[in-house]
Chains A and B, each alone.
Chain A
Amino acid sequence: MSTLEISHLSKSFGALKVTDDVSLTVPSGELHAIIGPNGAGKTTLISQLSGQLRSDAGRIAMDGRDITGTTMPERVHLGLARSFQITQTLPGFTVLENVALAVQARHGSSFRFWARVASEAALNDAAMAALKEAGLDHRAEARASALSHGEHRRLELACALATEPRILLLDEPLAGVGGEDADAFVAALRAMKGRFTMMLIEHDMDAVFRLADRVSVLVYGRIIATGTPDEVRSDPAVRTAYLGEEEENAA
Protein backbone atom coordinates (compact mmCIF):
# COMPACT_ATOMS: atom_id res chain seq x y z
CA MET A 1 0.00 0.00 0.00
CA SER A 2 1.22 3.42 -0.85
CA THR A 3 0.30 7.03 -0.50
CA LEU A 4 -0.43 8.92 -3.69
CA GLU A 5 0.35 12.60 -3.70
CA ILE A 6 -0.70 14.85 -6.55
CA SER A 7 0.35 18.47 -6.51
CA HIS A 8 -0.56 21.25 -8.94
CA LEU A 9 -1.09 18.83 -11.83
CA SER A 10 -2.10 20.43 -15.15
CA LYS A 11 -2.79 19.34 -18.69
CA SER A 12 -4.07 21.28 -21.69
CA PHE A 13 -5.14 20.17 -25.13
CA GLY A 14 -4.62 23.30 -27.19
CA ALA A 15 -6.52 26.08 -25.46
CA LEU A 16 -8.61 23.63 -23.44
CA LYS A 17 -7.47 23.11 -19.84
CA VAL A 18 -8.46 19.54 -19.09
CA THR A 19 -6.64 19.22 -15.79
CA ASP A 20 -6.39 22.50 -13.96
CA ASP A 21 -4.04 22.71 -10.99
CA VAL A 22 -5.21 19.51 -9.29
CA SER A 23 -3.75 18.75 -5.87
CA LEU A 24 -4.84 15.76 -3.86
CA THR A 25 -3.35 13.32 -1.37
CA VAL A 26 -4.75 9.82 -1.12
CA PRO A 27 -3.43 8.21 2.06
CA SER A 28 -2.30 4.62 2.10
CA GLY A 29 -5.19 2.16 2.03
CA GLU A 30 -7.91 4.66 1.22
CA LEU A 31 -10.50 4.10 -1.47
CA HIS A 32 -10.86 7.50 -3.02
CA ALA A 33 -13.57 8.14 -5.58
CA ILE A 34 -13.46 10.87 -8.20
CA ILE A 35 -16.84 11.96 -9.48
CA GLY A 36 -17.82 14.69 -11.85
CA PRO A 37 -19.98 15.41 -14.88
CA ASN A 38 -19.03 14.16 -18.35
CA GLY A 39 -16.06 16.03 -19.75
CA ALA A 40 -14.80 16.97 -16.32
CA GLY A 41 -11.41 15.42 -17.17
CA LYS A 42 -11.59 12.31 -15.01
CA THR A 43 -10.10 9.91 -17.53
CA THR A 44 -7.42 12.44 -18.46
CA LEU A 45 -6.44 12.65 -14.79
CA ILE A 46 -6.16 8.85 -14.56
CA SER A 47 -4.10 8.80 -17.76
CA GLN A 48 -1.73 11.37 -16.30
CA LEU A 49 -1.42 9.44 -13.06
CA SER A 50 -0.78 6.15 -14.85
CA GLY A 51 1.85 7.72 -17.11
CA GLN A 52 -0.05 7.24 -20.36
CA LEU A 53 -0.25 11.03 -20.79
CA ARG A 54 2.52 13.46 -19.96
CA SER A 55 1.56 16.30 -17.66
CA ASP A 56 2.26 19.91 -18.59
CA ALA A 57 3.03 20.86 -15.02
CA GLY A 58 2.81 19.53 -11.50
CA ARG A 59 4.16 16.59 -9.59
CA ILE A 60 3.03 13.04 -8.86
CA ALA A 61 4.59 11.11 -5.99
CA MET A 62 4.24 7.64 -4.50
CA ASP A 63 5.22 7.44 -0.84
CA GLY A 64 7.12 10.68 -1.32
CA ARG A 65 9.02 9.40 -4.34
CA ASP A 66 8.63 11.65 -7.40
CA ILE A 67 7.35 9.58 -10.35
CA THR A 68 6.32 12.46 -12.62
CA GLY A 69 8.96 11.71 -15.25
CA THR A 70 8.49 7.94 -15.41
CA THR A 71 6.71 6.01 -18.16
CA MET A 72 3.62 3.86 -17.76
CA PRO A 73 5.55 0.54 -17.69
CA GLU A 74 7.95 1.95 -15.11
CA ARG A 75 5.06 3.04 -12.89
CA VAL A 76 3.54 -0.44 -13.14
CA HIS A 77 6.79 -1.86 -11.83
CA LEU A 78 6.64 0.62 -8.93
CA GLY A 79 3.19 -0.72 -8.12
CA LEU A 80 0.88 1.77 -9.82
CA ALA A 81 -1.65 0.00 -12.03
CA ARG A 82 -4.77 1.10 -13.85
CA SER A 83 -7.82 -0.36 -15.51
CA PHE A 84 -9.32 1.21 -18.61
CA GLN A 85 -12.78 2.59 -19.17
CA ILE A 86 -12.71 1.34 -22.76
CA THR A 87 -11.64 -2.25 -22.43
CA GLN A 88 -8.07 -2.94 -23.53
CA THR A 89 -7.45 -6.65 -23.85
CA LEU A 90 -5.36 -8.89 -26.06
CA PRO A 91 -8.29 -10.19 -28.14
CA GLY A 92 -6.50 -13.22 -29.60
CA PHE A 93 -5.24 -14.44 -26.25
CA THR A 94 -7.19 -16.56 -23.82
CA VAL A 95 -8.37 -14.97 -20.61
CA LEU A 96 -5.72 -16.89 -18.69
CA GLU A 97 -2.98 -15.79 -21.07
CA ASN A 98 -4.07 -12.16 -20.76
CA VAL A 99 -3.63 -12.30 -17.03
CA ALA A 100 -0.54 -14.53 -17.08
CA LEU A 101 1.22 -11.88 -19.16
CA ALA A 102 0.50 -9.34 -16.45
CA VAL A 103 1.97 -11.72 -13.87
CA GLN A 104 5.01 -12.36 -16.05
CA ALA A 105 5.80 -8.64 -16.15
CA ARG A 106 6.45 -8.72 -12.41
CA HIS A 107 8.04 -12.17 -12.15
CA GLY A 108 11.32 -12.97 -13.82
CA SER A 109 12.74 -11.81 -17.11
CA SER A 110 10.71 -11.73 -20.29
CA PHE A 111 13.91 -12.22 -22.27
CA ARG A 112 13.58 -15.98 -22.12
CA PHE A 113 13.43 -17.44 -25.59
CA TRP A 114 13.28 -21.20 -25.24
CA ALA A 115 11.14 -22.61 -22.41
CA ARG A 116 7.42 -22.89 -23.11
CA VAL A 117 5.62 -20.17 -21.23
CA ALA A 118 2.29 -21.99 -21.44
CA SER A 119 3.61 -24.66 -19.09
CA GLU A 120 4.93 -22.30 -16.41
CA ALA A 121 2.77 -23.32 -13.49
CA ALA A 122 3.76 -20.35 -11.32
CA LEU A 123 2.46 -17.88 -13.90
CA ASN A 124 -0.76 -19.76 -14.50
CA ASP A 125 -1.46 -20.22 -10.78
CA ALA A 126 -0.99 -16.54 -10.01
CA ALA A 127 -3.16 -15.66 -12.99
CA MET A 128 -5.89 -18.03 -11.84
CA ALA A 129 -5.81 -16.45 -8.39
CA ALA A 130 -6.32 -12.99 -9.89
CA LEU A 131 -9.12 -14.33 -12.08
CA LYS A 132 -10.84 -15.91 -9.13
CA GLU A 133 -10.74 -12.64 -7.27
CA ALA A 134 -12.29 -10.85 -10.24
CA GLY A 135 -14.86 -13.63 -10.60
CA LEU A 136 -13.77 -14.80 -14.01
CA ASP A 137 -11.90 -18.04 -13.25
CA HIS A 138 -14.62 -20.14 -14.91
CA ARG A 139 -13.79 -18.46 -18.25
CA ALA A 140 -10.01 -18.89 -18.06
CA GLU A 141 -9.79 -20.87 -21.29
CA ALA A 142 -12.08 -18.60 -23.33
CA ARG A 143 -10.63 -16.26 -25.90
CA ALA A 144 -10.76 -12.62 -24.72
CA SER A 145 -12.61 -11.55 -27.87
CA ALA A 146 -15.40 -13.99 -27.02
CA LEU A 147 -16.18 -12.40 -23.65
CA SER A 148 -19.36 -10.48 -22.87
CA HIS A 149 -19.14 -6.85 -21.84
CA GLY A 150 -19.42 -7.62 -18.16
CA GLU A 151 -16.75 -10.31 -18.43
CA HIS A 152 -14.46 -7.85 -20.19
CA ARG A 153 -14.78 -5.51 -17.22
CA ARG A 154 -13.76 -8.36 -14.95
CA LEU A 155 -10.79 -9.19 -17.15
CA GLU A 156 -9.70 -5.55 -16.92
CA LEU A 157 -9.77 -5.84 -13.16
CA ALA A 158 -7.98 -9.19 -13.12
CA CYS A 159 -5.13 -7.85 -15.29
CA ALA A 160 -4.69 -4.86 -13.01
CA LEU A 161 -4.72 -7.11 -9.93
CA ALA A 162 -2.16 -9.45 -11.48
CA THR A 163 0.40 -6.64 -11.63
CA GLU A 164 0.36 -6.68 -7.79
CA PRO A 165 -0.49 -3.01 -7.39
CA ARG A 166 0.15 -0.91 -4.34
CA ILE A 167 -2.05 1.77 -5.86
CA LEU A 168 -4.86 0.83 -8.22
CA LEU A 169 -6.53 3.36 -10.52
CA LEU A 170 -9.93 2.16 -11.70
CA ASP A 171 -11.52 4.02 -14.60
CA GLU A 172 -15.26 3.34 -14.51
CA PRO A 173 -15.01 -0.39 -13.77
CA LEU A 174 -18.81 -0.58 -13.68
CA ALA A 175 -19.44 1.16 -17.02
CA GLY A 176 -22.20 -0.69 -18.82
CA VAL A 177 -22.53 -3.31 -16.08
CA GLY A 178 -25.95 -3.57 -14.48
CA GLY A 179 -28.05 -5.45 -11.98
CA GLU A 180 -26.60 -8.42 -10.13
CA ASP A 181 -23.35 -8.16 -12.02
CA ALA A 182 -22.83 -4.66 -10.67
CA ASP A 183 -23.61 -5.77 -7.13
CA ALA A 184 -21.13 -8.62 -7.35
CA PHE A 185 -18.53 -6.22 -8.73
CA VAL A 186 -19.07 -3.76 -5.90
CA ALA A 187 -18.71 -6.62 -3.42
CA ALA A 188 -15.44 -7.66 -5.07
CA LEU A 189 -14.09 -4.11 -4.85
CA ARG A 190 -15.18 -3.83 -1.24
CA ALA A 191 -13.34 -7.05 -0.42
CA MET A 192 -10.15 -5.54 -1.80
CA LYS A 193 -10.37 -2.43 0.37
CA GLY A 194 -7.37 -2.06 2.62
CA ARG A 195 -5.11 -4.27 0.52
CA PHE A 196 -4.03 -1.40 -1.67
CA THR A 197 -4.78 2.24 -2.17
CA MET A 198 -7.53 2.73 -4.73
CA MET A 199 -8.64 5.64 -6.82
CA LEU A 200 -12.00 5.02 -8.44
CA ILE A 201 -13.76 6.92 -11.17
CA GLU A 202 -17.38 5.94 -11.33
CA HIS A 203 -20.67 7.24 -12.63
CA ASP A 204 -22.78 4.94 -10.49
CA MET A 205 -23.34 7.25 -7.50
CA ASP A 206 -24.88 4.47 -5.52
CA ALA A 207 -21.73 2.40 -5.80
CA VAL A 208 -19.48 5.39 -5.11
CA PHE A 209 -21.23 6.36 -1.90
CA ARG A 210 -21.28 2.74 -0.73
CA LEU A 211 -17.60 2.10 -1.39
CA ALA A 212 -15.59 5.27 -1.02
CA ASP A 213 -13.80 6.45 2.09
CA ARG A 214 -13.53 9.90 0.60
CA VAL A 215 -14.81 11.50 -2.57
CA SER A 216 -13.44 14.33 -4.71
CA VAL A 217 -15.59 16.22 -7.18
CA LEU A 218 -13.94 17.23 -10.44
CA VAL A 219 -15.58 19.90 -12.58
CA TYR A 220 -13.88 21.34 -15.67
CA GLY A 221 -10.54 19.96 -14.56
CA ARG A 222 -10.68 21.46 -11.06
CA ILE A 223 -11.39 19.75 -7.76
CA ILE A 224 -14.22 21.73 -6.20
CA ALA A 225 -14.69 19.60 -3.11
CA THR A 226 -13.10 16.71 -1.23
CA GLY A 227 -14.51 14.93 1.77
CA THR A 228 -16.39 11.93 3.13
CA PRO A 229 -19.40 10.84 1.09
CA ASP A 230 -21.73 12.61 3.52
CA GLU A 231 -19.75 15.84 3.44
CA VAL A 232 -19.66 15.86 -0.31
CA ARG A 233 -23.32 15.02 -0.63
CA SER A 234 -24.26 18.01 1.48
CA ASP A 235 -21.75 20.45 -0.04
CA PRO A 236 -23.82 23.24 -1.66
CA ALA A 237 -21.21 23.93 -4.37
CA VAL A 238 -21.31 20.28 -5.36
CA ARG A 239 -25.07 20.24 -5.43
CA THR A 240 -25.28 23.15 -7.85
CA ALA A 241 -22.31 22.18 -9.99
CA TYR A 242 -22.90 18.50 -10.28
CA LEU A 243 -25.57 16.67 -8.37
CA GLY A 244 -28.12 19.32 -9.27
CA GLU A 245 -27.38 18.92 -12.92
CA GLU A 246 -27.88 15.21 -12.69
CA GLU A 247 -31.30 15.67 -11.17
CA GLU A 248 -32.27 18.15 -13.84
CA ASN A 249 -31.12 15.73 -16.51
CA ALA A 250 -33.07 12.96 -14.91
CA ALA A 251 -36.21 15.06 -14.76
Chain B
Amino acid sequence: MTDMTASAPAGRAPALAGRVKAAAILFVLFALFPPVVMLADDPFLVLIGTRILAYAIAALALDLILGYGAMVSFGHAAYLGFGTYAVAILSSYGINDIVLQMLGAVVISAVFALVTGAISLRTRGVYFIMITLAFGQMAFFFFISLSAYGGDDGYGLSQRSTLFGTQVLENDFVLFYATLAVLIGLFAICHRIVGSRFGRVLTGIRENPTRMEAIGYAPFRYQLTAFVISGCMTSLAGVLLANQAEFVSPAFMSWHRSGELIVMVVLGGIGTLAGAIGGAVAALLLEEVLGMMTEHWRLWFGLFLVLMVLFSPRGITGLVEKIGKGRS
Protein backbone atom coordinates (compact mmCIF):
# COMPACT_ATOMS: atom_id res chain seq x y z
CA MET B 1 0.00 0.00 0.00
CA THR B 2 2.92 2.31 0.53
CA ASP B 3 6.53 2.52 -0.35
CA MET B 4 7.29 0.79 2.87
CA THR B 5 5.37 -2.27 1.80
CA ALA B 6 6.38 -1.99 -1.84
CA SER B 7 10.11 -2.03 -1.34
CA ALA B 8 11.91 -5.31 -0.97
CA PRO B 9 13.11 -6.02 2.56
CA ALA B 10 16.74 -6.15 1.61
CA GLY B 11 16.51 -2.76 -0.07
CA ARG B 12 14.59 -1.40 2.85
CA ALA B 13 17.24 0.50 4.72
CA PRO B 14 18.53 2.00 1.47
CA ALA B 15 14.94 2.95 0.57
CA LEU B 16 14.59 4.81 3.85
CA ALA B 17 17.92 6.52 3.34
CA GLY B 18 16.84 7.29 -0.22
CA ARG B 19 13.79 9.02 1.12
CA VAL B 20 15.88 11.17 3.42
CA LYS B 21 18.08 11.96 0.44
CA ALA B 22 15.04 12.96 -1.63
CA ALA B 23 13.92 15.24 1.18
CA ALA B 24 17.41 16.70 1.52
CA ILE B 25 17.48 17.51 -2.20
CA LEU B 26 14.09 19.20 -1.87
CA PHE B 27 15.32 21.23 1.10
CA VAL B 28 18.43 22.38 -0.77
CA LEU B 29 16.28 23.43 -3.73
CA PHE B 30 14.00 25.34 -1.36
CA ALA B 31 16.99 27.06 0.22
CA LEU B 32 18.25 28.14 -3.21
CA PHE B 33 14.86 29.50 -4.19
CA PRO B 34 15.06 33.04 -2.70
CA PRO B 35 18.46 33.94 -4.23
CA VAL B 36 17.24 32.76 -7.63
CA VAL B 37 14.08 34.80 -7.22
CA MET B 38 16.20 37.84 -6.36
CA LEU B 39 17.96 37.46 -9.66
CA ALA B 40 14.58 37.25 -11.36
CA ASP B 41 13.66 40.46 -9.52
CA ASP B 42 10.22 39.23 -8.47
CA PRO B 43 10.17 39.30 -4.66
CA PHE B 44 6.50 38.37 -4.60
CA LEU B 45 7.54 34.85 -5.56
CA VAL B 46 9.21 34.47 -2.16
CA LEU B 47 5.81 34.91 -0.52
CA ILE B 48 4.35 32.25 -2.79
CA GLY B 49 7.27 30.03 -1.83
CA THR B 50 6.55 30.57 1.86
CA ARG B 51 2.94 29.60 1.28
CA ILE B 52 4.02 26.40 -0.45
CA LEU B 53 6.38 25.55 2.43
CA ALA B 54 3.63 26.12 4.97
CA TYR B 55 1.30 23.77 3.12
CA ALA B 56 4.14 21.27 2.85
CA ILE B 57 4.25 21.26 6.66
CA ALA B 58 0.52 20.56 6.81
CA ALA B 59 0.78 17.79 4.20
CA LEU B 60 3.70 16.24 6.07
CA ALA B 61 1.68 16.24 9.28
CA LEU B 62 -1.34 14.72 7.54
CA ASP B 63 0.82 12.01 5.95
CA LEU B 64 1.83 10.88 9.42
CA ILE B 65 -1.72 9.68 10.12
CA LEU B 66 -2.99 9.14 6.56
CA GLY B 67 0.03 7.30 5.24
CA TYR B 68 1.29 5.54 8.35
CA GLY B 69 -1.95 5.21 10.28
CA ALA B 70 -4.49 4.81 7.41
CA MET B 71 -6.67 7.48 9.04
CA VAL B 72 -8.38 9.51 6.32
CA SER B 73 -8.94 12.72 8.26
CA PHE B 74 -11.12 15.08 6.27
CA GLY B 75 -11.02 17.82 8.89
CA HIS B 76 -7.37 18.76 9.00
CA ALA B 77 -7.93 22.29 7.73
CA ALA B 78 -9.37 23.03 11.18
CA TYR B 79 -5.86 22.86 12.61
CA LEU B 80 -4.58 25.27 9.96
CA GLY B 81 -7.35 27.54 11.23
CA PHE B 82 -6.36 27.14 14.88
CA GLY B 83 -2.84 28.16 13.92
CA THR B 84 -3.91 31.24 12.00
CA TYR B 85 -6.36 32.40 14.67
CA ALA B 86 -3.82 31.77 17.42
CA VAL B 87 -1.73 34.48 15.74
CA ALA B 88 -4.67 36.85 15.32
CA ILE B 89 -6.17 36.42 18.77
CA LEU B 90 -2.92 36.37 20.74
CA SER B 91 -1.54 39.38 18.90
CA SER B 92 -4.71 41.32 19.68
CA TYR B 93 -3.82 40.71 23.35
CA GLY B 94 -0.29 41.96 22.72
CA ILE B 95 1.35 38.55 22.52
CA ASN B 96 3.35 38.79 19.33
CA ASP B 97 6.09 36.29 19.98
CA ILE B 98 5.88 33.51 17.40
CA VAL B 99 7.03 30.85 19.83
CA LEU B 100 4.25 31.71 22.27
CA GLN B 101 1.76 31.85 19.41
CA MET B 102 2.88 28.43 18.25
CA LEU B 103 2.50 27.16 21.79
CA GLY B 104 -1.04 28.52 21.92
CA ALA B 105 -1.88 26.94 18.58
CA VAL B 106 -0.49 23.59 19.70
CA VAL B 107 -2.40 23.61 22.99
CA ILE B 108 -5.74 24.40 21.35
CA SER B 109 -5.11 21.87 18.61
CA ALA B 110 -4.13 19.18 21.08
CA VAL B 111 -7.36 19.66 23.03
CA PHE B 112 -9.52 19.70 19.90
CA ALA B 113 -7.73 16.67 18.40
CA LEU B 114 -7.96 14.76 21.66
CA VAL B 115 -11.71 15.28 22.01
CA THR B 116 -12.77 14.91 18.37
CA GLY B 117 -10.22 12.16 17.73
CA ALA B 118 -11.47 10.15 20.70
CA ILE B 119 -14.98 10.28 19.28
CA SER B 120 -14.01 9.72 15.64
CA LEU B 121 -11.64 6.84 16.35
CA ARG B 122 -14.37 4.78 17.94
CA THR B 123 -15.64 4.40 14.39
CA ARG B 124 -14.16 3.07 11.17
CA GLY B 125 -13.94 3.75 7.46
CA VAL B 126 -16.72 5.86 6.03
CA TYR B 127 -17.84 6.99 9.48
CA PHE B 128 -14.37 8.25 10.35
CA ILE B 129 -14.15 10.31 7.17
CA MET B 130 -17.57 11.86 7.65
CA ILE B 131 -17.13 12.59 11.35
CA THR B 132 -13.76 14.27 10.95
CA LEU B 133 -15.31 16.30 8.14
CA ALA B 134 -18.18 17.31 10.38
CA PHE B 135 -15.91 18.33 13.25
CA GLY B 136 -13.77 20.33 10.85
CA GLN B 137 -16.90 22.10 9.74
CA MET B 138 -17.85 22.77 13.35
CA ALA B 139 -14.58 24.63 13.86
CA PHE B 140 -15.17 26.48 10.59
CA PHE B 141 -18.59 27.71 11.75
CA PHE B 142 -17.19 28.69 15.12
CA PHE B 143 -14.74 31.10 13.52
CA ILE B 144 -17.38 32.35 11.08
CA SER B 145 -19.46 33.48 14.04
CA LEU B 146 -16.46 34.94 15.84
CA SER B 147 -17.46 38.49 14.96
CA ALA B 148 -14.77 40.11 17.12
CA TYR B 149 -12.25 38.83 14.56
CA GLY B 150 -14.21 39.71 11.46
CA GLY B 151 -16.31 36.56 11.23
CA ASP B 152 -16.80 35.56 7.64
CA ASP B 153 -14.75 38.48 6.30
CA GLY B 154 -11.58 37.61 8.13
CA TYR B 155 -9.21 39.83 10.05
CA GLY B 156 -6.13 41.69 8.87
CA LEU B 157 -3.02 41.46 11.04
CA SER B 158 -1.41 44.76 11.98
CA GLN B 159 2.04 43.18 12.04
CA ARG B 160 3.82 39.88 11.67
CA SER B 161 4.87 37.85 14.69
CA THR B 162 8.09 38.75 16.46
CA LEU B 163 10.98 36.35 16.91
CA PHE B 164 12.88 36.67 20.20
CA GLY B 165 11.65 40.24 20.50
CA THR B 166 12.84 41.27 17.05
CA GLN B 167 10.80 42.05 13.98
CA VAL B 168 12.98 40.09 11.58
CA LEU B 169 10.00 38.14 10.25
CA GLU B 170 8.72 41.33 8.61
CA ASN B 171 11.35 40.57 6.02
CA ASP B 172 9.87 38.13 3.48
CA PHE B 173 13.18 36.32 3.08
CA VAL B 174 13.58 35.73 6.79
CA LEU B 175 10.01 34.46 7.01
CA PHE B 176 10.75 32.08 4.14
CA TYR B 177 13.81 30.64 5.84
CA ALA B 178 12.05 30.45 9.19
CA THR B 179 9.29 28.44 7.54
CA LEU B 180 11.85 26.22 5.86
CA ALA B 181 13.54 25.65 9.22
CA VAL B 182 10.24 24.56 10.77
CA LEU B 183 9.60 22.25 7.83
CA ILE B 184 13.01 20.62 8.13
CA GLY B 185 12.64 20.26 11.89
CA LEU B 186 9.23 18.65 11.61
CA PHE B 187 10.42 16.35 8.83
CA ALA B 188 13.21 15.16 11.10
CA ILE B 189 10.74 14.57 13.93
CA CYS B 190 8.30 12.70 11.67
CA HIS B 191 11.12 10.63 10.25
CA ARG B 192 12.22 9.61 13.73
CA ILE B 193 8.65 8.88 14.84
CA VAL B 194 8.06 6.63 11.85
CA GLY B 195 11.18 4.61 12.62
CA SER B 196 10.54 4.46 16.37
CA ARG B 197 8.74 1.92 18.53
CA PHE B 198 5.63 4.06 18.32
CA GLY B 199 5.87 4.35 14.55
CA ARG B 200 6.17 0.62 14.15
CA VAL B 201 3.05 0.08 16.24
CA LEU B 202 1.16 2.72 14.25
CA THR B 203 2.16 1.15 10.94
CA GLY B 204 1.31 -2.29 12.28
CA ILE B 205 -2.22 -1.11 13.10
CA ARG B 206 -2.55 0.13 9.53
CA GLU B 207 -1.43 -3.24 8.21
CA ASN B 208 -3.67 -5.43 10.37
CA PRO B 209 -5.43 -4.20 13.54
CA THR B 210 -6.59 -7.71 14.50
CA ARG B 211 -3.04 -9.00 14.53
CA MET B 212 -1.99 -6.05 16.68
CA GLU B 213 -4.70 -6.75 19.24
CA ALA B 214 -3.72 -10.40 19.28
CA ILE B 215 -0.17 -9.52 20.29
CA GLY B 216 -1.30 -7.10 22.97
CA TYR B 217 -1.84 -3.65 21.48
CA ALA B 218 -5.05 -1.65 21.90
CA PRO B 219 -5.03 0.36 18.61
CA PHE B 220 -7.09 3.26 19.93
CA ARG B 221 -4.49 4.91 22.16
CA TYR B 222 -1.77 4.78 19.52
CA GLN B 223 -4.04 6.10 16.78
CA LEU B 224 -5.29 8.88 19.04
CA THR B 225 -1.74 9.87 19.97
CA ALA B 226 -0.76 10.05 16.31
CA PHE B 227 -3.92 12.01 15.54
CA VAL B 228 -3.06 14.59 18.21
CA ILE B 229 0.57 14.88 17.08
CA SER B 230 -0.55 15.41 13.50
CA GLY B 231 -3.11 18.05 14.47
CA CYS B 232 -0.54 19.98 16.52
CA MET B 233 1.99 19.94 13.68
CA THR B 234 -0.62 21.14 11.22
CA SER B 235 -1.42 24.09 13.45
CA LEU B 236 2.20 25.25 13.15
CA ALA B 237 1.63 25.50 9.40
CA GLY B 238 -1.33 27.73 10.25
CA VAL B 239 0.80 30.07 12.37
CA LEU B 240 3.21 30.49 9.46
CA LEU B 241 0.40 30.92 6.92
CA ALA B 242 -1.11 33.74 8.96
CA ASN B 243 2.25 35.50 8.91
CA GLN B 244 2.64 34.88 5.20
CA ALA B 245 -0.78 36.30 4.36
CA GLU B 246 -0.86 38.85 7.22
CA PHE B 247 -4.53 37.99 7.25
CA VAL B 248 -6.67 35.30 8.82
CA SER B 249 -10.09 34.07 7.78
CA PRO B 250 -12.30 31.01 8.10
CA ALA B 251 -11.45 30.29 4.45
CA PHE B 252 -8.25 28.66 5.73
CA MET B 253 -10.38 25.95 7.31
CA SER B 254 -13.09 25.20 4.75
CA TRP B 255 -13.59 21.55 3.93
CA HIS B 256 -12.19 22.17 0.46
CA ARG B 257 -8.90 22.97 2.11
CA SER B 258 -9.02 19.65 3.98
CA GLY B 259 -9.61 17.93 0.66
CA GLU B 260 -6.69 19.74 -0.92
CA LEU B 261 -4.40 18.60 1.90
CA ILE B 262 -5.38 15.00 1.18
CA VAL B 263 -4.73 15.57 -2.53
CA MET B 264 -1.23 16.86 -1.71
CA VAL B 265 -0.37 13.82 0.38
CA VAL B 266 -1.68 11.40 -2.22
CA LEU B 267 -0.03 13.16 -5.17
CA GLY B 268 3.39 12.72 -3.60
CA GLY B 269 2.77 9.14 -2.52
CA ILE B 270 1.22 8.39 0.84
CA GLY B 271 3.35 7.11 3.65
CA THR B 272 6.62 8.54 2.37
CA LEU B 273 6.93 11.90 4.23
CA ALA B 274 9.19 13.40 1.55
CA GLY B 275 6.41 12.62 -0.92
CA ALA B 276 3.95 14.74 1.03
CA ILE B 277 6.31 17.70 0.74
CA GLY B 278 6.75 17.10 -2.98
CA GLY B 279 3.01 16.63 -3.35
CA ALA B 280 2.30 19.98 -1.69
CA VAL B 281 4.70 21.67 -4.10
CA ALA B 282 3.19 19.89 -7.10
CA ALA B 283 -0.43 20.57 -6.14
CA LEU B 284 0.13 24.26 -5.40
CA LEU B 285 2.21 24.78 -8.54
CA LEU B 286 -0.47 23.04 -10.59
CA GLU B 287 -3.00 25.35 -8.98
CA GLU B 288 -0.88 28.43 -9.75
CA VAL B 289 -0.21 27.39 -13.34
CA LEU B 290 -3.79 26.42 -14.09
CA GLY B 291 -4.88 29.61 -12.36
CA MET B 292 -2.71 31.67 -14.70
CA MET B 293 -4.19 29.96 -17.75
CA THR B 294 -7.87 30.06 -16.84
CA GLU B 295 -10.11 31.43 -14.15
CA HIS B 296 -11.87 28.07 -14.13
CA TRP B 297 -8.78 26.17 -12.99
CA ARG B 298 -10.87 24.19 -10.50
CA LEU B 299 -12.65 22.50 -13.39
CA TRP B 300 -9.36 21.20 -14.75
CA PHE B 301 -8.00 20.34 -11.33
CA GLY B 302 -11.15 18.35 -10.60
CA LEU B 303 -10.97 16.62 -13.96
CA PHE B 304 -7.34 15.76 -13.29
CA LEU B 305 -8.31 14.16 -9.97
CA VAL B 306 -11.17 12.12 -11.39
CA LEU B 307 -9.14 10.88 -14.36
CA MET B 308 -6.19 10.00 -12.14
CA VAL B 309 -8.39 7.84 -9.94
CA LEU B 310 -10.34 6.26 -12.80
CA PHE B 311 -7.53 5.42 -15.15
CA SER B 312 -5.00 4.11 -12.74
CA PRO B 313 -6.08 0.52 -12.08
CA ARG B 314 -5.58 0.75 -8.35
CA GLY B 315 -6.31 4.44 -8.04
CA ILE B 316 -3.86 7.21 -7.38
CA THR B 317 -2.35 5.22 -4.57
CA GLY B 318 -1.64 2.41 -7.00
CA LEU B 319 -0.25 4.75 -9.62
CA VAL B 320 2.19 6.34 -7.25
CA GLU B 321 3.29 2.92 -6.07
CA LYS B 322 3.86 1.86 -9.66
CA ILE B 323 5.95 4.90 -10.47
CA GLY B 324 7.86 4.42 -7.24
CA LYS B 325 8.58 0.80 -8.13
CA GLY B 326 9.74 1.75 -11.59
CA ARG B 327 12.22 4.16 -10.08
CA SER B 328 13.76 1.89 -7.50
Contact = CB atoms under 8 A, between A and B. Distances in A.
Contact, chains A and B (beta carbon distance below 8 A): yes
B211 A159 contact: yes
B29 interface: no
Given A143-B8, A143-B9, A110 B198 contact: yes
Given A73-B217, A106-B216, A118 B195 contact: yes
Interface string A73-114: 110110001101000111111100100111011101111111
A180 to B, nearest CB: 27
A162 B196 contact: no
B9 A88 contact: no
Contact of B215 (A101, A108, A113, A143): A101
A105 B215 contact: yes
Most chain A beta carbons < 10 A, residue from B4, B9, B10: B9
A115 B197 contact: yes
Nearest to A91: B207
B198 A76 contact: no
B201 A114 contact: no
Interface string B1-25: 1101100111011000000000000
B199 interface: yes
Given A93-B204, A101-B201, A142 B196 contact: no
A216 interface: no
A89 B213 contact: no
Nearest to A162: B215
Given A92-B2, A101-B204, A101-B215, A111 B225 contact: yes
Contacts of A50: 214
A91 B6 CA distance: 10
Nearest to A144: B207
B198 A113 contact: yes
Contacts of A100: 200
Contacts of B124: none
Given A112-B198, A113-B192, A77 B8 contact: no
Interface in B176-222: 192-193, 195-201, 203-204, 207-208, 210-218, 222
B192 A82 contact: no
A163 B215 contact: yes
Nearest to B213: A72
Contact of B214 (A72, A77, A108): A72
Contact of B216 (A52, A93, A102): A102
Given A84-B214, A105-B216, A117-B199, A89 B208 contact: yes
Interface string A136-152: 00000111010000000
A84 B213 CA distance: 12
A71 interface: yes
B218 A93 contact: no
Given A92-B2, A101-B204, A117 B197 contact: yes
Given A73-B216, A143-B9, A92 B207 contact: yes
Nearest to B210: A88
10 contacts: A73-B216, A76-B216, A77-B216, A81-B215, A88-B210, A93-B204, A104-B201, A110-B222, A113-B199, A116-B192
Interface of B: 1-2, 4-5, 8-10, 12-13, 192-193, 195-201, 203-204, 207-208, 210-218, 222, 225
